[in-house]
Structure 1
Amino acid sequence: MHIRELDPSASPLDYYGYELRRAREAAGLTQKALGSIVFCTGSLIGQIETTLKVPTREFSERVDAALGTDGLFSRLVGLVLRSQLPGWLQPFAELEARATNIATFQSQVVYGLLQTPEYARAVLETGWADNLDEQVAARLDRQRILAREKPPLLWVVLDEVVLHRPFAGKEAMRHQLTHLLSFRNRREVRIQVLPLGLGQHPATAGSFSVLRFEGDPDITYSDNYDKGYLTANPDVVRDCSHRYDHLQAAALSVEDSAALIAHVREERYAEQPAPDGSTVA
Protein backbone atom coordinates (compact mmCIF):
# COMPACT_ATOMS: atom_id res chain seq x y z
CA MET A 1 0.00 0.00 0.00
CA HIS A 2 1.26 3.45 -0.91
CA ILE A 3 1.41 5.69 2.16
CA ARG A 4 1.23 9.36 1.42
CA GLU A 5 4.07 11.25 3.05
CA LEU A 6 3.16 14.50 4.75
CA ASP A 7 5.22 17.60 5.35
CA PRO A 8 4.19 18.60 8.88
CA SER A 9 5.39 22.15 8.27
CA ALA A 10 3.11 22.66 5.25
CA SER A 11 -0.03 23.60 7.19
CA PRO A 12 -1.81 23.00 10.51
CA LEU A 13 -3.86 20.28 8.80
CA ASP A 14 -0.71 18.52 7.55
CA TYR A 15 0.82 18.73 11.01
CA TYR A 16 -2.33 17.28 12.57
CA GLY A 17 -2.38 14.37 10.09
CA TYR A 18 1.33 13.70 10.57
CA GLU A 19 1.01 13.63 14.36
CA LEU A 20 -2.13 11.48 14.25
CA ARG A 21 -0.39 8.85 12.11
CA ARG A 22 2.71 8.96 14.31
CA ALA A 23 0.73 8.59 17.55
CA ARG A 24 -1.46 5.82 16.14
CA GLU A 25 1.52 3.81 14.91
CA ALA A 26 3.34 4.34 18.23
CA ALA A 27 0.30 2.83 19.95
CA GLY A 28 0.46 -0.19 17.62
CA LEU A 29 -3.01 0.44 16.16
CA THR A 30 -4.26 0.13 12.62
CA GLN A 31 -6.53 2.79 11.21
CA LYS A 32 -9.46 0.40 11.56
CA ALA A 33 -8.60 -0.39 15.18
CA LEU A 34 -8.33 3.28 16.15
CA GLY A 35 -11.55 4.02 14.28
CA SER A 36 -13.42 1.39 16.30
CA ILE A 37 -12.17 2.96 19.54
CA VAL A 38 -13.21 6.51 18.62
CA PHE A 39 -16.47 5.46 16.93
CA CYS A 40 -15.66 6.12 13.30
CA THR A 41 -14.43 4.18 10.29
CA GLY A 42 -10.83 3.34 9.57
CA SER A 43 -11.33 5.10 6.26
CA LEU A 44 -12.07 8.38 8.08
CA ILE A 45 -8.88 7.96 10.14
CA GLY A 46 -6.96 7.53 6.90
CA GLN A 47 -8.59 10.56 5.31
CA ILE A 48 -7.71 12.76 8.28
CA GLU A 49 -4.16 11.42 8.36
CA THR A 50 -3.75 12.38 4.69
CA THR A 51 -5.53 15.78 4.99
CA LEU A 52 -8.50 14.72 2.86
CA LYS A 53 -10.83 15.41 5.78
CA VAL A 54 -10.73 18.08 8.46
CA PRO A 55 -10.99 16.74 12.04
CA THR A 56 -13.69 17.96 14.40
CA ARG A 57 -13.17 18.96 18.01
CA GLU A 58 -15.18 15.95 19.20
CA PHE A 59 -13.01 13.61 17.13
CA SER A 60 -9.86 15.20 18.55
CA GLU A 61 -11.03 14.78 22.14
CA ARG A 62 -11.78 11.11 21.51
CA VAL A 63 -8.38 10.55 19.91
CA ASP A 64 -6.65 12.17 22.88
CA ALA A 65 -8.52 9.82 25.22
CA ALA A 66 -7.82 6.76 23.06
CA LEU A 67 -4.11 7.44 22.52
CA GLY A 68 -3.31 9.10 25.83
CA THR A 69 -1.85 12.15 24.10
CA ASP A 70 -2.54 14.60 26.94
CA GLY A 71 -4.79 16.95 24.97
CA LEU A 72 -2.43 17.31 21.99
CA PHE A 73 -5.09 16.92 19.31
CA SER A 74 -7.64 18.99 21.22
CA ARG A 75 -5.11 21.81 21.16
CA LEU A 76 -4.16 21.33 17.53
CA VAL A 77 -7.71 21.21 16.20
CA GLY A 78 -8.25 24.89 17.00
CA LEU A 79 -5.35 25.80 14.70
CA VAL A 80 -6.64 23.42 12.06
CA LEU A 81 -10.15 24.85 12.09
CA ARG A 82 -8.86 28.41 12.04
CA SER A 83 -6.79 27.55 8.98
CA GLN A 84 -10.04 26.69 7.18
CA LEU A 85 -11.21 30.28 7.42
CA PRO A 86 -10.61 32.47 4.35
CA GLY A 87 -7.02 33.65 4.38
CA TRP A 88 -8.01 37.30 4.79
CA LEU A 89 -10.08 36.46 7.88
CA GLN A 90 -7.50 34.37 9.73
CA PRO A 91 -5.48 37.31 11.16
CA PHE A 92 -8.67 38.83 12.56
CA ALA A 93 -9.74 35.51 14.13
CA GLU A 94 -6.37 35.23 15.86
CA LEU A 95 -6.65 38.75 17.25
CA GLU A 96 -10.30 38.22 18.19
CA ALA A 97 -9.24 35.24 20.31
CA ARG A 98 -6.74 37.45 22.19
CA ALA A 99 -8.92 40.50 22.68
CA THR A 100 -10.16 41.53 26.12
CA ASN A 101 -12.86 43.79 24.67
CA ILE A 102 -14.72 43.48 21.35
CA ALA A 103 -17.07 46.21 20.15
CA THR A 104 -18.75 45.52 16.81
CA PHE A 105 -21.40 47.09 14.62
CA GLN A 106 -23.12 44.71 12.18
CA SER A 107 -25.27 46.10 9.39
CA GLN A 108 -26.06 42.91 7.45
CA VAL A 109 -25.80 39.77 9.57
CA VAL A 110 -25.51 38.60 13.18
CA TYR A 111 -21.92 38.78 14.46
CA GLY A 112 -20.08 35.48 13.94
CA LEU A 113 -19.56 34.80 17.66
CA LEU A 114 -23.34 34.84 18.16
CA GLN A 115 -24.47 32.82 15.14
CA THR A 116 -26.29 29.49 15.40
CA PRO A 117 -25.07 26.61 13.18
CA GLU A 118 -28.04 26.91 10.79
CA TYR A 119 -27.67 30.66 10.47
CA ALA A 120 -23.90 30.43 10.00
CA ARG A 121 -24.34 27.87 7.23
CA ALA A 122 -26.89 30.08 5.44
CA VAL A 123 -24.60 33.12 5.66
CA LEU A 124 -21.57 31.20 4.43
CA GLU A 125 -23.53 29.62 1.58
CA THR A 126 -24.02 33.07 0.09
CA GLY A 127 -20.26 33.16 -0.48
CA TRP A 128 -20.35 29.89 -2.46
CA ALA A 129 -17.80 28.30 -0.15
CA ASP A 130 -16.20 25.11 -1.50
CA ASN A 131 -15.50 23.70 1.97
CA LEU A 132 -18.76 24.75 3.59
CA ASP A 133 -18.77 22.17 6.40
CA GLU A 134 -15.25 23.12 7.42
CA GLN A 135 -15.98 26.85 7.32
CA VAL A 136 -19.10 26.40 9.46
CA ALA A 137 -17.07 24.36 11.96
CA ALA A 138 -14.37 27.03 11.99
CA ARG A 139 -16.88 29.81 12.61
CA LEU A 140 -18.51 27.92 15.46
CA ASP A 141 -15.11 27.10 16.95
CA ARG A 142 -14.40 30.85 17.20
CA GLN A 143 -17.29 31.04 19.65
CA ARG A 144 -15.35 29.03 22.23
CA ILE A 145 -13.77 32.25 23.49
CA LEU A 146 -17.14 33.15 25.05
CA ALA A 147 -16.98 29.97 27.16
CA ARG A 148 -13.55 30.74 28.62
CA GLU A 149 -13.12 31.34 32.32
CA LYS A 150 -12.34 34.97 31.47
CA PRO A 151 -14.17 35.71 28.20
CA PRO A 152 -13.79 39.03 26.42
CA LEU A 153 -16.33 41.76 27.00
CA LEU A 154 -18.44 41.64 23.83
CA TRP A 155 -20.63 44.60 22.91
CA VAL A 156 -22.68 44.20 19.73
CA VAL A 157 -24.79 46.80 17.96
CA LEU A 158 -27.03 45.23 15.29
CA ASP A 159 -28.86 47.19 12.65
CA GLU A 160 -32.53 46.25 13.03
CA VAL A 161 -32.58 45.07 9.41
CA VAL A 162 -30.48 42.08 10.54
CA LEU A 163 -33.47 40.82 12.53
CA HIS A 164 -35.76 40.98 9.52
CA ARG A 165 -33.51 39.34 6.90
CA PRO A 166 -34.63 35.66 6.97
CA PHE A 167 -31.43 33.71 6.45
CA ALA A 168 -32.21 29.96 6.19
CA GLY A 169 -35.95 30.45 6.67
CA LYS A 170 -38.33 31.15 9.52
CA GLU A 171 -37.38 28.26 11.79
CA ALA A 172 -33.67 29.03 11.62
CA MET A 173 -34.35 32.71 12.26
CA ARG A 174 -36.53 31.89 15.24
CA HIS A 175 -33.71 29.81 16.68
CA GLN A 176 -31.19 32.58 15.92
CA LEU A 177 -33.22 35.27 17.66
CA THR A 178 -33.85 32.94 20.60
CA HIS A 179 -30.09 32.43 20.78
CA LEU A 180 -29.53 36.19 20.89
CA LEU A 181 -32.05 36.45 23.74
CA SER A 182 -30.17 33.74 25.65
CA PHE A 183 -27.38 36.26 26.27
CA ARG A 184 -29.62 38.64 28.23
CA ASN A 185 -28.20 37.49 31.55
CA ARG A 186 -24.57 37.24 30.41
CA ARG A 187 -22.74 40.18 32.01
CA GLU A 188 -19.92 40.02 29.49
CA VAL A 189 -22.23 40.11 26.41
CA ARG A 190 -24.33 43.17 25.57
CA ILE A 191 -26.55 43.35 22.49
CA GLN A 192 -28.17 46.56 21.28
CA VAL A 193 -30.34 47.16 18.22
CA LEU A 194 -30.08 50.26 16.05
CA PRO A 195 -33.72 50.95 15.13
CA LEU A 196 -34.79 51.30 11.50
CA GLY A 197 -36.52 54.58 12.25
CA LEU A 198 -33.23 56.25 13.14
CA GLY A 199 -32.33 57.07 9.55
CA GLN A 200 -28.94 58.76 9.34
CA HIS A 201 -26.26 57.33 11.63
CA PRO A 202 -22.44 57.43 11.91
CA ALA A 203 -21.76 53.98 10.38
CA THR A 204 -23.43 54.19 7.00
CA ALA A 205 -20.21 52.90 5.44
CA GLY A 206 -20.90 49.45 6.88
CA SER A 207 -19.89 47.00 9.58
CA PHE A 208 -16.73 47.38 11.63
CA SER A 209 -15.17 46.16 14.87
CA VAL A 210 -12.85 47.65 17.48
CA LEU A 211 -10.68 45.20 19.42
CA ARG A 212 -8.87 46.08 22.64
CA PHE A 213 -6.06 44.14 24.26
CA GLU A 214 -4.13 43.87 27.50
CA GLY A 215 -0.92 45.81 26.89
CA ASP A 216 -1.22 46.09 23.09
CA PRO A 217 -2.63 48.85 20.87
CA ASP A 218 -6.30 48.79 19.92
CA ILE A 219 -7.14 47.78 16.35
CA THR A 220 -10.08 48.20 14.03
CA TYR A 221 -11.34 45.73 11.46
CA SER A 222 -13.68 45.91 8.50
CA ASP A 223 -14.16 43.63 5.51
CA ASN A 224 -15.68 43.38 2.07
CA TYR A 225 -16.20 40.56 -0.43
CA ASP A 226 -12.68 39.20 -0.61
CA LYS A 227 -10.48 40.82 2.00
CA GLY A 228 -10.35 42.27 5.47
CA TYR A 229 -8.76 45.50 6.61
CA LEU A 230 -6.94 45.58 9.96
CA THR A 231 -5.26 48.69 11.30
CA ALA A 232 -3.80 50.00 14.53
CA ASN A 233 -3.50 53.52 13.11
CA PRO A 234 -4.37 55.72 16.12
CA ASP A 235 -6.37 58.18 14.02
CA VAL A 236 -8.51 55.42 12.47
CA VAL A 237 -8.98 53.67 15.82
CA ARG A 238 -9.98 56.94 17.46
CA ASP A 239 -12.46 57.72 14.69
CA CYS A 240 -14.04 54.24 14.80
CA SER A 241 -14.26 54.33 18.59
CA HIS A 242 -15.93 57.74 18.39
CA ARG A 243 -18.43 56.47 15.82
CA TYR A 244 -19.13 53.44 17.96
CA ASP A 245 -19.87 55.60 20.99
CA HIS A 246 -22.45 57.45 18.91
CA LEU A 247 -23.95 54.17 17.68
CA GLN A 248 -24.35 52.92 21.24
CA ALA A 249 -26.00 56.17 22.25
CA ALA A 250 -28.41 56.04 19.28
CA ALA A 251 -29.25 52.34 19.70
CA LEU A 252 -31.99 51.00 21.93
CA SER A 253 -30.98 50.05 25.46
CA VAL A 254 -29.99 46.44 26.10
CA GLU A 255 -33.39 45.80 27.72
CA ASP A 256 -35.39 47.49 24.96
CA SER A 257 -33.29 45.71 22.34
CA ALA A 258 -34.14 42.34 23.88
CA ALA A 259 -37.82 43.30 23.85
CA LEU A 260 -37.59 44.21 20.15
CA ILE A 261 -35.80 40.98 19.30
CA ALA A 262 -38.51 39.00 21.10
CA HIS A 263 -41.22 41.00 19.30
CA VAL A 264 -39.69 40.39 15.86
CA ARG A 265 -39.27 36.70 16.66
CA GLU A 266 -42.96 36.32 17.49
CA GLU A 267 -44.27 38.61 14.76
CA ARG A 268 -42.19 37.31 11.85
CA TYR A 269 -40.94 33.87 12.81
CA ALA A 270 -43.45 32.35 15.23
CA GLU A 271 -44.61 28.79 14.72
CA GLN A 272 -47.91 28.61 12.85
CA PRO A 273 -50.64 26.01 13.54
CA ALA A 274 -51.03 23.39 10.84
CA PRO A 275 -54.46 22.08 9.74
CA ASP A 276 -54.00 18.99 11.92
CA GLY A 277 -53.36 21.12 14.99
CA SER A 278 -49.59 20.69 15.04
CA THR A 279 -47.23 23.63 14.61
CA VAL A 280 -45.04 24.49 11.67
CA ALA A 281 -42.51 27.24 11.08
Structure 2
Amino acid sequence: MTNNTSITNRVSPKPLKKGDKIALVAPARFASKKLINEASELIEKAGFTPIVFDGLDSRSNQFGGDDEHRASLLNQAFCDTSIRAALALRGGYGSSRLLSLLDVEAYLKDPTWIVGFSDITALHAWSNNLGIASLHAPVASTMKSTNEEDVQWIWDTLSGNPPRVFDGTIVGGNLSVLYSLLGTSYFPDCTDSYLFIEDLDEFLYHIDRMMVSLKLAGVFEQARGLIVGSFTDLKDNTKEYGQSIDNPFGLNYKEIINNHVPEGYLVRFDMPMGHGERNYPIILGAP
Protein backbone atom coordinates (compact mmCIF):
# COMPACT_ATOMS: atom_id res chain seq x y z
CA MET A 1 0.00 0.00 0.00
CA THR A 2 1.31 3.45 -0.90
CA ASN A 3 0.03 6.95 -0.39
CA ASN A 4 -2.81 7.21 -2.93
CA THR A 5 -3.40 10.95 -2.57
CA SER A 6 -1.87 12.42 -5.71
CA ILE A 7 -0.28 15.86 -5.33
CA THR A 8 -1.93 18.27 -7.77
CA ASN A 9 -0.11 21.47 -6.82
CA ARG A 10 3.56 21.59 -5.84
CA VAL A 11 5.35 24.74 -4.64
CA SER A 12 8.85 25.61 -3.43
CA PRO A 13 9.69 27.68 -0.36
CA LYS A 14 10.91 31.20 -1.11
CA PRO A 15 14.57 31.59 -2.16
CA LEU A 16 16.94 32.88 0.51
CA LYS A 17 18.64 36.26 0.40
CA LYS A 18 21.99 37.04 2.00
CA GLY A 19 21.54 37.51 5.72
CA ASP A 20 18.41 35.37 5.92
CA LYS A 21 18.01 33.13 8.96
CA ILE A 22 18.72 29.39 8.89
CA ALA A 23 17.67 27.41 11.97
CA LEU A 24 19.77 24.48 13.11
CA VAL A 25 17.67 21.47 14.13
CA ALA A 26 18.35 18.00 15.54
CA PRO A 27 15.33 15.85 14.60
CA ALA A 28 17.24 12.59 15.03
CA ARG A 29 20.55 12.06 16.85
CA PHE A 30 21.78 14.51 19.47
CA ALA A 31 24.21 17.27 18.52
CA SER A 32 27.18 18.44 20.55
CA LYS A 33 27.86 22.11 21.28
CA LYS A 34 31.00 21.75 19.14
CA LEU A 35 28.98 20.61 16.13
CA ILE A 36 26.42 23.38 16.69
CA ASN A 37 29.20 25.97 16.76
CA GLU A 38 30.86 24.55 13.65
CA ALA A 39 27.53 24.51 11.78
CA SER A 40 26.84 28.09 12.83
CA GLU A 41 30.21 29.14 11.43
CA LEU A 42 29.47 27.39 8.12
CA ILE A 43 26.16 29.24 7.81
CA GLU A 44 27.78 32.59 8.63
CA LYS A 45 30.59 31.94 6.13
CA ALA A 46 27.94 31.32 3.46
CA GLY A 47 26.43 34.72 4.20
CA PHE A 48 23.41 33.70 6.23
CA THR A 49 22.37 34.04 9.88
CA PRO A 50 22.36 30.89 12.06
CA ILE A 51 19.57 30.46 14.59
CA VAL A 52 20.26 28.25 17.60
CA PHE A 53 17.20 27.52 19.72
CA ASP A 54 17.43 26.95 23.46
CA GLY A 55 17.85 23.24 24.16
CA LEU A 56 19.27 22.38 20.75
CA ASP A 57 22.08 20.45 22.48
CA SER A 58 19.63 18.41 24.58
CA ARG A 59 20.11 14.67 24.75
CA SER A 60 17.82 11.75 25.51
CA ASN A 61 19.84 8.58 24.96
CA GLN A 62 20.74 8.69 21.25
CA PHE A 63 18.20 11.40 20.42
CA GLY A 64 18.46 15.18 20.58
CA GLY A 65 15.89 15.29 23.37
CA ASP A 66 12.57 13.48 23.51
CA ASP A 67 10.19 13.45 20.55
CA GLU A 68 8.12 16.38 21.79
CA HIS A 69 11.25 18.51 22.33
CA ARG A 70 12.74 17.77 18.90
CA ALA A 71 9.41 18.43 17.19
CA SER A 72 8.95 21.69 19.11
CA LEU A 73 12.23 23.06 17.76
CA LEU A 74 11.20 22.21 14.21
CA ASN A 75 7.83 23.84 14.80
CA GLN A 76 9.55 26.97 16.12
CA ALA A 77 11.35 27.20 12.80
CA PHE A 78 8.10 26.67 10.87
CA CYS A 79 6.19 29.29 12.90
CA ASP A 80 8.85 32.02 12.69
CA THR A 81 8.37 33.62 9.27
CA SER A 82 11.82 35.24 9.44
CA ILE A 83 13.43 31.77 9.36
CA ARG A 84 13.76 30.63 5.77
CA ALA A 85 15.43 27.21 6.18
CA ALA A 86 15.93 24.44 8.74
CA LEU A 87 19.27 22.62 8.44
CA ALA A 88 19.57 19.25 10.16
CA LEU A 89 22.71 18.81 12.22
CA ARG A 90 22.80 15.01 12.05
CA GLY A 91 20.90 12.04 10.64
CA GLY A 92 20.91 8.63 12.27
CA TYR A 93 17.42 7.74 13.40
CA GLY A 94 14.44 9.50 14.93
CA SER A 95 12.89 11.88 12.38
CA SER A 96 9.96 9.58 11.57
CA ARG A 97 8.95 9.65 15.25
CA LEU A 98 8.12 13.37 14.84
CA LEU A 99 5.86 13.32 11.79
CA SER A 100 2.55 13.32 13.65
CA LEU A 101 3.80 16.13 15.93
CA LEU A 102 4.69 18.69 13.26
CA ASP A 103 2.69 21.90 12.72
CA VAL A 104 1.21 21.40 9.27
CA GLU A 105 -0.81 24.62 9.35
CA ALA A 106 2.22 26.82 10.09
CA TYR A 107 4.35 25.00 7.54
CA LEU A 108 1.80 25.40 4.75
CA LYS A 109 1.19 29.06 5.57
CA ASP A 110 4.81 30.01 4.88
CA PRO A 111 6.94 27.00 3.89
CA THR A 112 10.49 26.65 5.19
CA TRP A 113 13.27 24.86 3.32
CA ILE A 114 14.04 21.53 5.04
CA VAL A 115 17.67 20.60 4.38
CA GLY A 116 19.34 17.25 5.06
CA PHE A 117 19.55 13.61 3.96
CA SER A 118 19.63 10.05 5.29
CA ASP A 119 17.17 9.92 8.21
CA ILE A 120 15.88 13.36 7.17
CA THR A 121 14.19 11.47 4.31
CA ALA A 122 11.18 11.16 6.64
CA LEU A 123 10.86 14.95 6.83
CA HIS A 124 11.27 15.27 3.07
CA ALA A 125 8.46 12.78 2.52
CA TRP A 126 6.23 14.64 4.98
CA SER A 127 6.93 17.95 3.23
CA ASN A 128 6.63 16.63 -0.31
CA ASN A 129 3.28 14.97 0.43
CA LEU A 130 2.04 18.39 1.53
CA GLY A 131 3.06 19.71 -1.88
CA ILE A 132 6.15 21.55 -0.59
CA ALA A 133 9.61 21.03 -2.08
CA SER A 134 12.62 20.34 0.15
CA LEU A 135 16.38 20.04 -0.31
CA HIS A 136 18.13 16.66 -0.15
CA ALA A 137 21.67 17.69 0.77
CA PRO A 138 24.40 17.04 3.36
CA VAL A 139 23.56 17.50 7.02
CA ALA A 140 25.85 19.81 8.96
CA SER A 141 27.89 16.98 10.46
CA THR A 142 28.90 15.64 7.02
CA MET A 143 29.73 18.91 5.31
CA LYS A 144 33.44 18.74 6.19
CA SER A 145 33.75 15.34 4.49
CA THR A 146 31.66 16.33 1.47
CA ASN A 147 33.03 17.71 -1.77
CA GLU A 148 33.37 21.50 -1.36
CA GLU A 149 31.54 22.16 -4.61
CA ASP A 150 28.52 20.21 -3.39
CA VAL A 151 28.45 22.23 -0.16
CA GLN A 152 28.60 25.51 -2.08
CA TRP A 153 25.74 24.30 -4.26
CA ILE A 154 23.57 23.95 -1.13
CA TRP A 155 23.73 27.69 -0.59
CA ASP A 156 23.33 28.39 -4.31
CA THR A 157 20.23 26.20 -4.52
CA LEU A 158 18.66 27.74 -1.42
CA SER A 159 19.29 31.16 -2.99
CA GLY A 160 17.32 30.19 -6.09
CA ASN A 161 20.34 29.43 -8.27
CA PRO A 162 20.63 25.63 -8.52
CA PRO A 163 23.62 24.62 -10.68
CA ARG A 164 21.51 22.00 -12.41
CA VAL A 165 17.79 21.53 -12.84
CA PHE A 166 16.45 18.00 -13.25
CA ASP A 167 13.79 17.32 -15.84
CA GLY A 168 10.82 16.15 -13.80
CA THR A 169 9.85 15.81 -10.16
CA ILE A 170 12.03 13.67 -7.87
CA VAL A 171 10.95 12.23 -4.52
CA GLY A 172 12.53 9.75 -2.12
CA GLY A 173 15.86 9.55 -0.32
CA ASN A 174 17.25 6.87 1.96
CA LEU A 175 15.91 3.43 1.03
CA SER A 176 15.74 2.13 4.62
CA VAL A 177 13.69 5.13 5.73
CA LEU A 178 11.39 4.86 2.72
CA TYR A 179 10.91 1.16 3.51
CA SER A 180 9.88 2.11 7.06
CA LEU A 181 7.19 4.46 5.68
CA LEU A 182 5.55 1.94 3.33
CA GLY A 183 1.88 1.45 4.12
CA THR A 184 1.59 4.83 5.83
CA SER A 185 0.26 8.17 4.59
CA TYR A 186 3.83 9.51 4.85
CA PHE A 187 5.32 7.41 2.07
CA PRO A 188 6.03 9.91 -0.73
CA ASP A 189 3.55 10.17 -3.55
CA CYS A 190 5.47 8.84 -6.57
CA THR A 191 2.81 9.55 -9.18
CA ASP A 192 4.51 10.82 -12.36
CA SER A 193 7.73 11.36 -10.35
CA TYR A 194 11.13 9.73 -10.31
CA LEU A 195 11.95 7.81 -7.14
CA PHE A 196 15.43 8.45 -5.77
CA ILE A 197 17.08 5.89 -3.45
CA GLU A 198 20.44 5.61 -1.66
CA ASP A 199 21.68 3.70 1.38
CA LEU A 200 24.57 2.90 3.68
CA ASP A 201 25.85 0.01 5.80
CA GLU A 202 23.20 -2.54 4.84
CA PHE A 203 23.42 -6.25 4.14
CA LEU A 204 22.73 -7.18 0.54
CA TYR A 205 19.77 -9.32 1.51
CA HIS A 206 18.32 -6.30 3.34
CA ILE A 207 18.50 -4.35 0.07
CA ASP A 208 16.70 -7.22 -1.65
CA ARG A 209 14.01 -7.34 1.04
CA MET A 210 13.35 -3.62 0.70
CA MET A 211 13.20 -3.75 -3.08
CA VAL A 212 10.74 -6.65 -2.89
CA SER A 213 8.54 -4.55 -0.60
CA LEU A 214 8.58 -1.58 -2.98
CA LYS A 215 7.67 -3.90 -5.85
CA LEU A 216 4.82 -5.59 -3.98
CA ALA A 217 3.49 -2.19 -2.90
CA GLY A 218 3.19 -1.11 -6.53
CA VAL A 219 5.68 1.73 -6.19
CA PHE A 220 7.37 1.07 -9.55
CA GLU A 221 4.02 1.24 -11.33
CA GLN A 222 3.49 4.72 -9.86
CA ALA A 223 6.96 6.18 -10.39
CA ARG A 224 8.27 7.11 -13.83
CA GLY A 225 11.69 5.67 -13.09
CA LEU A 226 14.36 5.06 -10.50
CA ILE A 227 17.34 7.29 -9.70
CA VAL A 228 19.99 5.41 -7.72
CA GLY A 229 22.56 7.27 -5.68
CA SER A 230 25.44 5.80 -3.73
CA PHE A 231 25.11 2.49 -1.89
CA THR A 232 28.17 2.47 0.33
CA ASP A 233 29.73 0.11 2.88
CA LEU A 234 27.41 -2.73 1.98
CA LYS A 235 27.84 -6.11 3.71
CA ASP A 236 27.23 -9.74 2.86
CA ASN A 237 26.53 -12.95 4.80
CA THR A 238 30.20 -13.92 4.94
CA LYS A 239 32.93 -14.36 7.53
CA GLU A 240 34.40 -11.05 6.42
CA TYR A 241 31.35 -9.34 7.91
CA GLY A 242 31.18 -11.33 11.15
CA GLN A 243 29.15 -14.36 10.06
CA SER A 244 30.11 -17.83 11.24
CA ILE A 245 30.07 -19.28 7.71
CA ASP A 246 30.28 -17.91 4.19
CA ASN A 247 26.79 -17.68 2.76
CA PRO A 248 26.98 -14.88 0.16
CA PHE A 249 23.79 -13.44 -1.31
CA GLY A 250 25.14 -13.82 -4.84
CA LEU A 251 24.09 -10.50 -6.36
CA ASN A 252 25.47 -6.97 -6.03
CA TYR A 253 23.14 -4.09 -5.26
CA LYS A 254 22.75 -3.07 -8.92
CA GLU A 255 21.77 -6.60 -9.87
CA ILE A 256 19.31 -6.70 -6.97
CA ILE A 257 17.64 -3.45 -8.08
CA ASN A 258 17.43 -4.52 -11.71
CA ASN A 259 15.98 -7.85 -10.59
CA HIS A 260 12.91 -6.17 -9.08
CA VAL A 261 11.96 -3.32 -11.41
CA PRO A 262 9.71 -3.98 -14.43
CA GLU A 263 11.33 -4.94 -17.72
CA GLY A 264 12.46 -1.86 -19.63
CA TYR A 265 12.08 0.35 -16.55
CA LEU A 266 14.18 3.52 -16.46
CA VAL A 267 16.98 3.12 -13.90
CA ARG A 268 19.86 5.58 -13.60
CA PHE A 269 22.74 4.30 -11.47
CA ASP A 270 25.79 6.03 -9.99
CA MET A 271 24.17 9.40 -9.33
CA PRO A 272 26.42 11.43 -6.98
CA MET A 273 24.01 11.67 -4.05
CA GLY A 274 24.08 9.88 -0.72
CA HIS A 275 26.64 8.72 1.82
CA GLY A 276 29.79 9.42 -0.16
CA GLU A 277 32.27 12.20 -0.82
CA ARG A 278 29.87 13.52 -3.43
CA ASN A 279 26.42 14.40 -2.16
CA TYR A 280 24.99 16.64 -4.81
CA PRO A 281 22.03 18.70 -3.52
CA ILE A 282 18.75 17.97 -5.27
CA ILE A 283 15.34 19.50 -4.77
CA LEU A 284 12.75 16.87 -3.85
CA GLY A 285 9.11 17.47 -4.73
CA ALA A 286 9.97 20.34 -7.06
CA PRO A 287 7.09 21.92 -9.03
Normalised by the length of structure 1, the TM-score is 0.27
Highest CA radius of gyration, 1 or 2? 1
TM-score, normalised relative to structure 2: 0.27
- Higher helix proportion (structure 1 or 2): 1
